[in-house]
């Protein structure tokens, strides 16, 4: 067995940390630089005259708070809707036996092999017919049900002992109450993991908002960042500060849910 504190291992760990940490650290420190210092040659890592002017200008002039609010609405509602659908579908597929249940599950899983580009136009036409174009509801509903979420919840719930559910059914407990009072609390690690990933996916999503929304008042943060790149030039201080601000919610989500996520991952890794 290799010594965990060997110099070679420590050097490799340090190298990996540098590779992963250097881009976000460089982004954050560059956002603190005045425009003239950003293009200084040779480039420097630490800002000689750090300033928050770039962040102040971004927040005060570019409707950034409105874009931030739109992204927060889309991320939170879409993530909760996706988790709700995944938990209910996973519970039905894991604990109920009905004709064709295996085929139904395989059909859901086979949709993982269908590229998004194939279903993009049909989904767009459905949203158009429902009058959901140019609305945040269209961005929220389009990616709400994911086969990945259904698969994760089904695989976790199937390991909950049937005896717990049967005892509740003998007491004539309704199925929705069994789901809410027994299945959901026992599945919190998987739910936390799925919720965190959905929040990050929806926050960073660019494609669906780009397809559905053209009204600037409905833009999300990712659309605002993409449109900050002009035809004849790039406002680098604005782009850097917007990028840093857009990363902060992702860090908050992972920090808040890391314990549930690690519990879910470790439970899946040690299950026999």
Stretch 42-57: mean pLDDT: 84
Q: What is the pLDDT of residues 185-228, one digit of tens each?
A: 988 888 988 888 898 889 988 888 898 888 888 889 888 888 87
Residue 272's pLDDT is what?
Answer: 42
pTM for this predicted structure: 0.81
d(CA 75, CA 208): 12
Stretch 171-190: mean pLDDT: 88
Instruction: At 129, give phi and psi (nearest 5°).
Output: -65, -30
* Element spanning 161, H or E: none
With a cut of 80, say whether residue 230 has pLDDT above it.
no
Three-state DSSP at 234 gives strand
Closest CA to 251 of 5, 28, 11: 28
Tokens 């190298």 map to which residue? 15
d(CA 123, CA 146): 14
CB count, 10 Å around CB of 137?
16
């Amino acid at each position: 067995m290799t010594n965990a504190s060997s110099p070679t291992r420590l050097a490799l760990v340090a190298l990996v940390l540098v590779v992963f940490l250097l881009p976000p650290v460089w982004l954050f420190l560059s956002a603190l630089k005045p425009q003239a210092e950003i293009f200084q040659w040779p480039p420097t890592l630490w800002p000689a005259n750090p300033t928050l002017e770039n962040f102040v200008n971004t927040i005060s002039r570019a409707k950034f708070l409105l874009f931030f609010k739109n992204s927060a609405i889309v991320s939170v509602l879409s993530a909760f809707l996706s988790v709700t659908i995944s938990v209910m579908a996973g519970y039905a597929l894991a604990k109920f036996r009905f004709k064709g249940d295996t085929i139904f599950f395989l059909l859901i899983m086979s949709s993982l092999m269908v590229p998004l580009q194939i279903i993009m136009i049909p989904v767009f036409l459905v949203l158009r017919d429902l009058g959901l174009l140019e609305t945040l509801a269209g961005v929220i509903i389009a990616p709400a049900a994911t086969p990945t979420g259904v698969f994760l919840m089904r695989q976790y719930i199937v390991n909950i002992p049937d005896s717990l559910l049967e005892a509740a059914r003998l007491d004539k407990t309704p199925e929705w109450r069994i789901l809410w009072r027994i299945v959901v609390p026992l599945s919190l690690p998987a739910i936390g993991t799925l919720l965190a990933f959905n929040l990050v996916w929806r926050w960073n999503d660019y494609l669906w908002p780009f397809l559905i929304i053209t009204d600037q008042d409905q833009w999300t943060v990712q659309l605002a960042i993409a449109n900050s790149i002009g035809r004849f030039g790039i406002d680098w201080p604005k782009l850097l500060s917007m990028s840093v601000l857009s990363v902060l919610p992702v860090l908050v989500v992972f920090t808040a849910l890391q314990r549930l996520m690690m519990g879910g991952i470790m439970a899946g890794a040690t299950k026999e």
